[in-house]
Amino acid sequence: MTRMERVEFTLENFVSHSSRDASGLSYRSAGVDIDAGDALVERIKPFAKRTMRPEVMSCIGGFAALVDIGQRYREPVLVSGTDGVGTKLRLAFELDHHRGVGIDLVAMSVNDILVQGAEPLYFLDYFACGQLKVDQAATVIQGIALGCEEAGCALIGGETAEMPDSYPAGEYDLAGFAVGVVEKSRLINGSTIVAGDRVIGVSSSGAHSNGFSLIRKIVAYSGADLHAPFPGGAYGDTTLGEVLMTPTRLYVKPILALMAQVTLKGLAHITGGGLVDNLPRVLPEGLAARLERSRWPRTPLFAWLQKAGGVAEEEMLRVFNCGVGMTVVVSPEDEEAVLQHFSALGWEAWSIGEIVPRTAGQPATWVE
């Protein structure tokens, strides 16, 4: 796994260091601990090894990773996606919860490429910090590896950037990149969707990794204690902070299994923008999705966020997933098979609406 340490000097650092005897300077004195970076690589090797797939040709520690997609596909199409975790990291720092954001990082990218029908092949991460804390970084990357295992993709590479003066003590930033493959004839692009098709909503695990700038404002505005049990006891002894930090659900394996049973006409990963902004991205011109709010329950988390922040319903639907993390568009004859598929997995799924002709001036998706 390629993980290189690097440093960015501010002008002030450069001036103060340049006036000193160069023989007395070292990378460590500049703020970069190569030994810590090496220790991190050794710590994470077992995590990454568990994610390997047969297509991976290279060993961890090289300068680049090699993947052979083999002869499984007649017309293979590579599908890629990249994302981060957003301001959910602010809560991770405050609560000292780091493994879950690693899972979030993987989920945000692999769920995105999944909507094209792609099976994720491999994942790379980027971890940047001011001063490398090996235990903290190893916990994050262990979460990344866990996410990759659950998604069935290999963690084949990454970068650790230690950049003094660039991040506050104890803080870091994350980015990830996923690549998948799909047979060209099996690409899911929404082109076969017609009026009368059904929209199935698949449950989310919580807020996932979206809307946390508003969530943090709601927590501050309400005066709620992140370390206290969730208000009202809806989640037992689980604290508000733990509920908010629940990792993003990975839809890869259930959706890939579903693709082998029925024809999926469209998929939408419900991220920032909610249902009303994400579902239209897979609809052909001239069609719209009419959703009924009464067809799926509002979880205690979203009910509390709305009440505690005085958030309007329209704003809730545009910011949060509101309990629906993935939507599936299928023909009416396949509707029941999809619902039974998720029920057998112990996941909640609901028929939340249908595709209708779109008239002039009408939005592409609305919730009644």
pLDDT of residue 27: 62
Cα separations (Å) of 357 from 37, 47, 286?
Answer: 57, 49, 6
Residues 21 and 62 placed together within one structural domain of the fold: yes
2: pLDDT strictly greater than 70 = no
Of 163, 186, 209, the one marking the end of a domain is: 186
Question: Which range (43-47, 216-220, 238-242, 354-358) has the least confidence?
Answer: 43-47
265 and 341 both lie in a single domain: yes
Q: What would the mean pLDDT of 224-249 be, rounded to a whole number? A: 97
270 and 178 fall within a common domain? no
Instruction: Check: CB of residue 352 under 8 Å from CB of residue 201.
Output: yes
pLDDT score of 313 more than 90: yes
Domain end, chosen from 186, 210, 242, is at: 186
Does some domain include residue 268?
Answer: yes
Q: Mean pLDDT throughout 151-179?
A: 94
Pick from 41-45, 165-169, 335-339 the range whose average pLDDT is largest: 335-339
More confident residue, 11 or 222: 222
Residue 6 lies in a domain: no
Q: What local confidence, expressed as pLDDT, does residue 31 receive?
A: 72
Does 147 map to a domain?
yes
Residues 172 and 234 in one domain: no
**309 sits in which H/E element:** helix 300-309
pLDDT > 60? residue 5? no
How many Cβ atoms from other residues are within 10 Å of residue 96's Cβ? 10
> Has residue 6 got a pLDDT over 80?
no
Cα torsion 60, 62, 63, 64 to 10°: value is: -60
Same domain assignment for residues 139 and 56:
yes
> Which CATH number characterizes residue 112's domain?
3.30.1330.10
**Does residue 17 have a pLDDT over 80?**
no
The pLDDT value recorded for residue 46 is 76
Is residue 3 in a domain? no
Of 160-164, 218-222, 280-284, 345-349, least confident by mean pLDDT is 160-164
**Does 5 reside within a domain?**
no
Domain limit, last residue, from 146, 161, 186: 186
Checking if the pLDDT of 141 tops 50, the result is yes
Whether the per-residue pLDDT at 52 is higher than 90: the answer is no
Query: What would the two tokens of residue 171 be?
Result: 């803080």
- Within a domain: 1: no
Q: Can you give the pLDDT at residue 37? A: 67
In this structure, of 8-17, 109-118, 148-157, 230-239, the range with the lowest mean pLDDT score is 8-17
The whole domain housing 146 covers 11-186
Q: Are residues 174 and 202 in the same domain?
A: no
| 134 shares its domain with 32 | yes
Question: Residue 354 forms beta bridges with which residues?
Answer: 198, 290
Q: What b/e string do you get for 24-36 counting C-beta neighbours within 10 Å, with b at 16 or more? A: eeeeeeebbbeeb
Mean pLDDT score of the chain, rounded to an integer? 90
- DSSP-derived secondary structure letter, 284: P
Indicate if 126 and 205 belong to the same structural domain: no
Of 338, 321, 317, give the one whose Cα is nearest residue 329. Answer: 338
Q: What is the mean predicted confidence (pLDDT) over 126-130? A: 95
7 pLDDT higher than 60: no
Domain co-membership, 51 together with 126:
yes
Q: What pLDDT does residue 35 have?
A: 73
**3-state SS, residue 107:** helix
Residue 213 is part of a domain; what is its CATH number? 3.90.650.10
Predicted pLDDT of residue 1: 43
Residues 145 and 289 grouped into a single domain: no
Q: Would you state the structure tokens that stand for residue 293, as one six-digit string?
A: 């709010």
- Say yes or no: 268 and 165 in one domain: no
pLDDT value at residue 157: 86
Quick one: average pLDDT of 126-147? 94
Q: What is the mean pLDDT of residues 183-202?
A: 97
Q: What is the pLDDT of residue 43?
A: 75
Residue 314: inside a domain, yes or no? yes
Q: Write down the pTM of the prediction.
A: 0.89
Structural domain count, the chain: 2
Q: Pick the range with the lowest mean pLDDT from 70-79, 194-203, 251-260, 314-323.
A: 70-79
Calculate mean pLDDT across residues 137-152: 96
The string of pLDDT tens digits covering residues 57-89 is 866 667 788 888 888 899 999 999 999 999 999
Q: Is residue 280 domain-resident?
A: yes
Q: Are residues 180 and 208 in the same domain?
A: no
